[in-house]
Amino acid sequence: MMVAMRSEATPEQIEAVLARIRAEGLTPLELPGGERTAIGIASAIPVDLREPLAQSLEAMAGVDHVAHISRPYKLASREFISADTVFTVGEVAFGGPEVVVLAGPCAIESEAQLRAAAMAVKQAGARGLRGGAFKPRTSPYSFQGLGEEGLALLAAVAAELDMITVTEVMDSHDVERVAAHADILQIGARNMQNYSLLIAAGETGHPILLKRGPGASLDELLLAAEYCLSRGSNRVLLCERGVHALDHTYTRNVLDLSAVPVLKEVSHLPVAIDPSHATGVARYVPAMCRAAVAAGADALLIEVHPEPSCALCDGPQSLAPPVFAALMDDLRALAALGGRCVYDPRKSEKP
């Protein structure tokens, strides 16, 4: 941590900052500059002291700003765990050589719709079935999901087809109920900073798919993961699904693929990409899936609907089954180039 004083700071104000740092048992070092003085701290600062100390220093007279040297997260950091985290859900390993594809409809609408989607994506090589039972909708007038009935359908159809499942949980008090039916708990982008939910999900020890909020920084995403990790979960899959950008003319958000190399560098957790929500437009999804695999993503979330124009939710971004099947062939070839694989149901063994 380093404190930049204002240029008009008095010697007394500088002394007060030095004293405040010493009061925490830390060693300050004065760095006089041309226009202003900076004060560095030549000791390790415990992770839980960083933010309160910084805020306290910033509120002192004569202080301009505080710059951090260390990252604000700990358990999620590569500095804390240097090897890649690889975890399994059922027989599927995340963070290993397989690029795992999770696919299915945005919302579970009926047994027929879910089964049609599931069979199509399973046949093309998806390992997991995604589908929303509780839907976070911007408008109270939109379809809100089938709820518990949807959860039961998801579990039943996936069991039939030997797939793992992922579904969103929106409320801390639904966590147990959803965890009873689904293999992976999804925390959606709008709830990335719903801390009650992060804590409740973390306490189950269940695998968690944590989506980055479109306005969230990567540090905020990793701090949200830290909430889960610090409560006992150690199977968190980070997911980039598009960030807010200035131009909404052609796509909903901008898919930030540089999040892949950055997150793989600063964290040990596996990284998934969701190009369906990022673009919002089915015809741009295949190019973005290919790019995600080329960039090194560990998993992909892809929306597939047996008949997109009849979908109750997000039809415009859903791939039709034949498009998805062709895409999976592309992804297999791309993954192989990078020494990785995408499951191929036409081959006898699983990766």
Residues 52-71 that bind a second copy (CB under 8 A): 52, 55-56, 58-61, 67, 69-71
Closer to a second copy at the Cβ: 69 or 180? 69
CA distance 188 to 279: 16
Closer by beta carbon to a second copy, 125 or else 214:
214
Asked if 51 interacts with a second copy (CB under 8 A), we say yes
Contact status, residue 136 vs residue 164, Cβ threshold 8 Å = no
Burial 268-287 (b: 16+ CB within 10 A, else e): bbbbbbbbbbbbbebebbbe
Q: Which stretch binds a second copy (CB under 8 A): 96-104, 108-116, 120-128, 280-288?
A: 280-288
Report the site for a second copy in 12-41 (rule: CB under 8 A): 29-36, 38, 40-41
Q: Exposed (0-12), middle (13-18) or buried (19+): which is 209, by Cβ within 10 Å?
A: buried
Give min distance, CB of 252 to a second copy, in A.
10
Residue 122 near residue 346 (C-beta atoms within 8 A): no
Q: With respect to a second copy, which residue has the nearer C-beta, 115 or 290?
A: 290
Positions in 151-210 near a second copy (CB under 8 A): 170-173, 190-191, 193-196
Indicate the SS3 state at residue 169.
Answer: coil
Q: Binding of a second copy at residue 137 (CB under 8 A)?
A: yes
Contact call for residues 277 and 317 (beta carbons, < 8 A) = yes
Contact characters 77-106, a second copy, x per CB under 8 A: xxx---------------------------
Binding residues among 239-268 for a second copy as defined by CB under 8 A: 243-251, 254-258, 260-262, 265-266
Strands (E), 173-249: 184-187, 208-211, 236-240
CB of 17 to a second copy, least distance (A): 10
Instruction: Assess 323 for contact with a second copy (CB under 8 A).
Output: no
- For residue 93, the cross-strand partners are 88
Q: Which stretch binds a second copy (CB under 8 A): 92-100, 107-115, 214-222, 341-349?
A: 214-222
| 322 near a second copy, rule: CB under 8 A | no
Q: Give the CA distances from residue 2 to residues 5, 26, 72, 112, 218, in Å, rounded to whole numbers and listed in that order.
A: 10, 12, 14, 60, 22
